[in-house]
Each structure stands twice: as C-alpha cells, then as structure tokens.
Homo-oligomer: A and B are copies of this chain.
C-alpha cells in the first residue's frame, strides 16, 4: 500500500498559529497572481514548435542537475539515470532510469527538489501517492500518458501556469530562430530572450575561439578587432531587444569589473586572442567586458544581471567524460565591494543603468550586497540564487538584506530553471516564504498589516515587472 501524497495548504508557513494565520491571509491574496519569470533557462524551441515532451526521464530527471547531482553524490551513476556522456547517450531504458530514481528518492528528504517535484506530481500530473520503488511504474506511465495529450504541450502548460512573461537565455551565437518562430506564429504567449554573452567574453571557455568566429559571421563584423568586437555586441543586443529582451546576463567566476582606457582595452583584447591566455588577462578581460556591457546598457536600456562566484566544472574527470552542467559547479568566496568599484565609478549614479546582483556567497548579503544596493541608484539585489533558492535560503536572504537595502532594492523572485514544469512550484515556494517572513514582521509589530499586503504583491508581481522593465 503506497503512502498518500498531499500538498498541505499551510506548507512552508510557521507553525505558530498567529503567524500562520497572517501568512495564510497574505498568501491568499497573491497565490493566483500571474507568474513573471524574468530569468530562466527553458528552451525557446518548446514554445516555438509546441511539440510534446518525450517522457518522464527526459523531462524531469536528465536535465535537472539539482536532482542528479544528489543521486551522483550517493553513488548512483549518471548512466543509470539515463544521462549520456561524451561517448554517447545512456544505454539505459527510460523506465529503468526512472526506477533508479524512485529507489533513491528518499535522499531528497527536506530538500527543495522534493518540494518542487511533489508540487509537479500533484498539481501537474494529479498523482496522489508517494514516489517509491513500488510506485515507480505508476509514475512513469502516468506522466508519459499525460505528456502525449495536447493539454501538456508547452504552450498549453504556459497558459495553464498563468505565466505573464517568460525569459529564456541565449548566447550571441544563437540565431534566435525559435524566438523568431514564436513571434511569427501569432501565439500570444510572451516568451522573450536574454542576452548571455559569456561564451564570447570568457577567454577560458573551451569554445571561445570558435564562438568568436560564429559571432563574426552572424554580425558581419570583424570581431577579431576590438572595435569590431564591440560593434558585434551592439548589433546582437539590438537584435535580442527586438525579440523582446529587456536584460543581459553574465555568469563570471568573480564579480571583478575594470575600466581600462581605450588603448589598454584594445591591447588586452589582442592578448586574449593569442594562443596562450594568461589567467590574469582572462580575468581582466571579463572584468572589462562587464563595464563595456554597462556602457552599452546606458544606451539601449538592457538591464544587467551579474551571476558571479562559481567555479564551473569543478570535477575534472566528470567534465572530461560528460562536459558542462553536470552538477559539479561549486561556489567560491566572492568580493563585491572592491570588484564592482570600477564599474560603479564609471556609471554607478546613472539611472539609465540597472544592475541586478546575485550571489552564492551568503556572507556577502549583509556585509556588502545590502549596503551597496541600499546606496547606489543603479544596483538592485536579485533573489536567493541556485543552492539558496530554498526555504531556508530565501528566509536568510530576507533576514540579511531587508533591514539595510529595504524590500524595494530587491527584484522579486527568479525561478532560474530549465525545469519548465517546476516553474509554478518554485514561484509558489517563494511566495509562501515571503509571506511567512512578512507575517513574522506583522506579528512582531515591525510592519503594519496594510504595508505587508502591499509588499506581498510587490514581491510576487510588481517588483520583477519594474526591475526587468517589462512595462
């Protein structure tokens, strides 16, 4: 007899009855607000071509590095989960991969992955028993059957999920054909792109040189000159903006910025095109490019997002066998106060610019990020990110930033996910945790009830629209 699976209506609210009642009241007013998904990694092709998703494993398991990293850490091979390597696709049957997942599902006890997955199981697929070895096949068959029906096509789900806008992320060497196709299709969903130029900015990216060549082809510029390279960015930013982009995104190992003179910048660019790039030059180039991107934003109004502080592909053997994005990205201690100064000296007071800062180093919340955002007109704080996109992580974010930066120097929630089906789950967790925090402030008489109601709507809906310039 499998255990029943329910989503408790009071989940994520504190147990104390007064606080819970207030949290419930605040949540009730915002639970049905449209979803503003301002930063994420879903595949624009889904919405362009609206084809059915293939099966449970390819939809829910193989692309979710939150999930398979945990299984891998406990000795489950990626192969067994249906995840291919450079040597080729996994030979494991999807059903067997799903069974392997079910066998180890208890590992997710107390994790956000469990919260998200169970929300998807119940709310999207209507499953009411727990995922266990004996229910693995039931799950697999139920999910696959659903995916074959028209109601589970990407566009239908987009509408069912009450999404108002959904931003994907593309690189400067993407032809944006899917976004063009979405526009051409006449579909009314608002799926927009985001300019994410890391691959042509990071000299240490393994595809940097070949990406530059494509970048040149696409823009018609000689991007192997400094001036042509910058023009290439301006051209592509304009093309992205024409397809709805309101933002750029930058995933650098540190938050370093630089503001070199024209001559030094051109010389640096020449050096990073050479055959051997010094690590210091690579870092300086990424730093300089953040400032170049900020300068371009002054002109074209694209909001800058900086997602720094991750050592990518930390597991050497796994990177060699399986490539990027296999759950082996590990955060590092991240400085902001010194790192951002060159960019801020250049344009920190110019409100044409908007920079949204993220961190994986929570010690920076109260020490650097809240003080910076609570002063500089151009800075705002992105929500708790990645490993911290969790109930405890979101709570720490509010507790450690609100008093210094205020709520209004934050930008609402980002789901930041490629797991499309989990988008409502993730926004729901954020809404609940924010309401719980506001409820605590109200019941401790640190915030009046009217302000809390207003803030609940701001955090869930108004702030992301404003911060990402969606209006």
Contacts and interface: CB of A to CB of B under 8 A. Distances in A.
Interface of A: 3, 8, 10-16, 18-19, 69-70, 72-75, 106-112, 115, 311, 314-318, 327-333, 335, 337-338, 341, 344-345, 348-349, 351, 360-363, 366-368, 370-377, 379, 387-388, 390-393, 399-400, 402-409, 440-441, 443-448, 450-451, 454-455
Nearest to A15: B443
Contact of A70 (B363, B374, B455): B374
A349 B73 contact: no
Contacts of A110: 402-403, 406-407, 441, 446-447, 455
A110 B109 CA distance: 32
Contact of A403 (B111, B371, B373): B111
Contacts of A399: 392
A445 B371 contact: no
Contacts of A367: 331-333, 360-363
Given A362-B363, A387-B404, A330 B375 contact: yes
Given A11-B444, A376-B73, A409-B73, A338 B311 contact: yes
Contacts of A69: 374-375
A373 to B, nearest CB: 7
A444 B15 contact: yes
22 contacts: A3-B448, A11-B444, A12-B446, A13-B444, A69-B374, A70-B374, A72-B375, A72-B377, A75-B377, A107-B408, A109-B406, A109-B451, A315-B344, A315-B375, A316-B345, A318-B349, A330-B371, A332-B337, A333-B335, A360-B367, A361-B363, A363-B367
Contacts of A441: 110
A357 to B, nearest CB: 13
Contacts of A448: 3
Contact of A73 (B10, B331, B375, B447): B375
Contacts of A363: 333, 361-363, 367
Contacts of A18: 15
Nearest to A401: B392
Contacts of A74: 377, 408-409
Contacts of A11: 444-446
A372 B407 CA distance: 32
Contacts of A330: 337, 368, 371-372, 375
Contacts of A446: 11-12, 110, 115, 391
A261 B406 CA distance: 48
Given A10-B445, A12-B446, A387-B404, A377 B73 contact: yes
Contacts of A451: 106, 109
Contact of A393 (B403, B409, B455): B403
Given A73-B409, A375-B327, A403 B112 contact: yes
What are the nearest 9 A-B pairs in CB distance? A8-B445, A11-B445, A15-B443, A363-B363, A390-B403, A316-B345, A387-B404, A392-B399, A15-B18
A444 B433 CA distance: 11
A54 to B, nearest CB: 26
A379 B73 contact: yes
Contacts of A311: 337-338
Contacts of A455: 109-110
Given A13-B444, A109-B407, 9 more contacts: A10-B445, A75-B377, A107-B406, A311-B338, A314-B372, A316-B345, A331-B371, A333-B363, A391-B403
